[in-house]
Amino acid sequence: MRTPSLLLTVLCVATISLQCLDATDDDYLSGPKKVTNILFYLHNTHSGKDPSSVLVAQNANATAHAQGFLPFSYVYVYNDLLTEGPSSKSKVVGNAQGMYASTAKDGNTILETIDHEITDGPFKGSSFVLFSRNPFMLPRRELPVIGGRGAFRMAQGFAYLRTVCVNCVNSGNPSKGDIIEYNVTLFHY
């Protein structure tokens, strides 16, 4: 007779906690309702006096693979600007804070975690997070959205990344840097 009474207790606890939810919380029970597509360009500069991306750690014996771009084990921290268009003179719409590590022996894939905060428009103050490996030499990469804050609370989704240019210099930004297009689809409440 112990099992049914235990089951009853569990059911009661579940019922009480459901009653405690308010109307806003109830929204989370029926699944994401909104789909938002955001397109922006990330500017990652790694030269000059004030780079947006810096190398913070590496294995003492790390050497670049013959065909590789980044030696295995390199860890970078970055705070990059996000703009509306590909030019660095384009309107700033947010910023990304994150880290990436060169996790592939061939030096052509990074593992990255990035929080993108939107600072303009209807999603101002909201952010979403990507976490995934990124085989950055491919023309198009897909990274998963694993969560968010504000309007993007509990968001899921996916982002297509495309490299616009590598080590490019333009009039708006004298430092050399990479520009990456982010096409993000978010499923949220």
Choosing from 170, 183, 187, 189, the residue that interacts with ligand NAG (CB under 6 A) is 183
160 vs 187, beta carbon nearer ligand NAG: 160
Stretch that binds ligand NAG, among 59-67, 96-104, 116-124, 145-153 (CB under 6 A): 59-67
Tokens 């899921």, located at residue: 156
| Residue 163 makes contact with ligand NAG by CB under 6 A | no
Question: In sequence order, what DSSP letters do the residues of 55-120 get, joined into one string?
Answer: EEE--TT----TT-SS-TT-EEEEEEEEESSSSTTSPEEEEEEEEEEE--TTS--EEEEEEEEE-S
- The residue type of 189 is Y
| Three-state DSSP class for residue 34 | strand
Q: Which residues contact 3 (CB under 8 A, 6 or more apart)?
A: none
| Residue 60 makes contact with ligand NAG by CB under 6 A | yes
Choosing from 9, 47, 59, 63, the residue that interacts with ligand NAG (CB under 6 A) is 59
| Residue 61 makes contact with ligand NAG by CB under 6 A | yes
| Residue 139 makes contact with ligand NAG by CB under 6 A | no
Contacts with ligand NAG, residue ranges (CB under 6 A): 37, 39, 59-61, 160, 183, 185
